[in-house]
Structure 1
């Protein structure tokens, strides 16, 4: 999915052991492109918070996505 959005393969410059370690420790996140809209970046980063209590709930994420779509005149 990430490759479709960015045109780039995630973690392409990392060794397999580093990728596995990052996944196991919940610290590995794809690099967000500099051209990414700040609102999308904020939503991604808040969803990746290491503290699950700080992460937005699925209903909160869905509402933010609806708001962002409405702001772009999408349905």
Structure 2
């Protein structure tokens, strides 16, 4: 996921989560347990997707760092700068 896409997804999740939580709380107050549970599941899925994308971003960043480190080592061995 590109940095731009990650930021967009992150912003979108930040925008929508409070609304989803409000809806979930409304269901809890009205006693509509089935809708509350469904909303809890949706919130959980979104949180998991967010965690996965965050982990992927970290892995992508680490891969870029590793690639740069390898390139630096190769350049050092070859006497390049």
TM-score category of the 2 structures, normalised to the smaller one: 0.3 to 0.5
Counting helix residues as a fraction of each chain, which structure ranks higher?
A: 2
TM-score (norm 1): 0.33
Say which one has the larger Rg. 2
TM-score (norm 2): 0.31
Q: Larger relative CO (CA 8 A, sep 6+): 1 or 2? A: 2
